[in-house]
Structures are given as C-alpha cells and as structure tokens.
Amino acid sequence: MGLGAVRRTCLVTGAAGFVGSHLVDRLLAENFEVVGLDSLMTGDLTNLRSASKNPHFHFQAGDVREPMHVYAELIFNLACPASPVHYQRDPYATFTTSVLGAQRLLEMARGRQCTIVHASTSEVYGDPDVHPQPESYWGNVNPIGPRACYDEGKRGAETLMTDARRTWGVDARIVRIFNTYGPRMAFNDGRVVSSFISQALQNQPLTVFGDGKQSRSFCYVDDLVEGLIRVSRLEGLDGPMNLGNPGEFTMLELASLVRELTGSDAPLEFRPLPTDDPKQRRPDITKAKRLTGFEPKVPLRSGLERTIGDFRLRLGLDEATPSRPPPAQ
C-alpha cells in the first residue's frame, strides 16, 4: 500500500470463531482496516491473539441480531454456531442468529451500499440424493429435525440475501461452505476432524458414528479463506457458490490417517448414526473454478499434520512425545 493510500474498512461477524479469525488475519495482511464483531457464544478471543496486536484491528463484543453502528465497505457474515454440538445447544439462538443477523446486515449493506459476503453452508443440501452437490440442487432437508435450526436458518438467510439482491439491488454474495478444518478448531465442537485428533492425542477411543462408510470432503482453512477473498473481489456474484475441497474420504479413512499421523493406536468406538446425519457430502466447485479460479491446494495429509501440531501445542503435549502410552512393564 502506497503512502497516503486509504485502507478499506471490512466488518467480519463471527470474528473470534475458527474460520472468522483466520479470515481476520488474512484481511489484515491484505491491508484492510478490520472490525471484528462476535457475541462469543462459541467464539474464543484467543483465536484473535495475533490480530489484537495489530492497530488496524478493532474488536467489538456484540450480537448480529441487535442494531449495529459500524462503518464498513465490505462485510463478511460468519456469525452463527457451525457445529452440531454448539448449534443444538441453543437452537432458538442458532436460528435467529442466522435469519435476524442476515436481516440486520442486509439493512446495513443496503443503507451504505456495501458488499456482503454471506457464509452459508453445505448443510442447506441436507442428506443429499444428488452427488456431488451442485449449486442448482435444492436439497433434502428435514425442516423440523434436530439439525433444522442450523439447516433451515441458513436456508432462510439465503432467501433474505437473494430477495435483498433481487428487490433492493444489494450486492449480496452467498458462499456455501463445505467441511473445513485446521488450527484453532475447538476441541469439543463435535466435528469429526477435531474429535478424532483430540481423541487420538489423548489415547481415547475414536468415536465413529454409523458404520464409518459415510463420506465427507475436507477443506483446509487457508484454502477456504482464499476462496472467500476471491469471491469478495468479483465484480458481482449471481446465485450461491460452493467452496470446499472435492476430495472425498470415508470416516474410516479419516480415522486411519489421524491415527497414523498422531502415532496413536487408540481403538475405534462405533455409535449409532445421529438423526438426519448426511451419508455423503462433496462439493461441485465448477462454478468457483470458472468465476474465481478457486482450487484447494492443501492435501488432507498436509492439512492434518498442521492441525495436529496446533492441537498438540494447545493441549500442552510435547511434539517429541509419542501419543501412545508406554508398553506395560
């Protein structure tokens, strides 16, 4: 940035979350003035330890469901609990954060004529009967099931974003995020990557739901953030866009790789599949490639190695110490 250049101001809601904090770091590196808003319902201020040292980052504790008084030229809306453990704990708060939060931010975007990049989710596809999932697929979602507070909340927010674009001309861009992992994931969020790594490092049985043959696609957080930045740089975006890694792995394959990389011989513990849990999930990223050139770069093995290193550090485990217990004497 040259002398006298004016920094653009960006608002990131859900800034203290896993993805939000990585996005904040990237935006600061891109020379934005960044305002981070978070209710800390599930966010963790330690995720912003690096950002907080930067004079161009400004944190505000606040709820997107309430009126906001923030100036911004670009908004990234990541405010909502995003894992079953968290979003099922308070389903009312989850649903209203998605829908009322979207409404508040759209009103701000409309009044200030700024761009909003809205983080939706692959959960809008429910338990899909189309594979992989293109943006044109409408989904197979149970509107009254235990996951509906998140699934339908995100679908409702997409409706608001689309109607605001259609009716008011708001530059609202919808990104459907598929399974993402990496450093700063919460240990107890119930996501399969964080659960397997935490359990393996502590020599606890790895919890596998169902027969373990259900599949997911795992995108390293740096790749996802790159995709979000690319979407924000487009002249405009009509309709939702999938962001994720199309590489597909079963839960058994993931468990085997995590055990190999952690050096753990912890057993697998099989439990019943939760209600409405999708059997398979993989993004069709044709649209993202065509419009932005997006393509994930970090292989699962490399991403897991980095994530495991972060978990070891936060769990207070010596990198040189093997995870498995010493043999019985």
d(C-alpha 259, C-alpha 206), whole Å: 9
Radius of gyration of the chain (CA): 20
Name the 3-class secondary structure at 76.
Answer: strand
Which residues on adjacent β-strands are paired with residue 254? none
d(C-alpha 317, C-alpha 320), whole Å: 9
Q: Which of 87, 125, 150, 181 is catalytic?
A: 150
150 given a catalytic annotation: yes
Contact 249/300 with Cβ under 8 angstroms?
A: yes
C-beta neighbour count of 249 within 10 angstroms: 19
Helix ranges restricted to H, the chain? 18-29, 84-87, 91-112, 148-168, 192-201, 221-233, 251-262, 286-292, 300-315
d(C-alpha 262, C-alpha 123), whole Å: 29
Contact 15/80 with Cβ under 8 angstroms?
A: no
C-beta neighbour count of 262 within 10 angstroms: 25
Reference 10, options 25, 238, 223; nearest CA is: 25
Name the 3-class secondary structure at 241.
Answer: strand
Name the 3-class secondary structure at 181.
Answer: strand
> Annotated active-site positions, please?
150
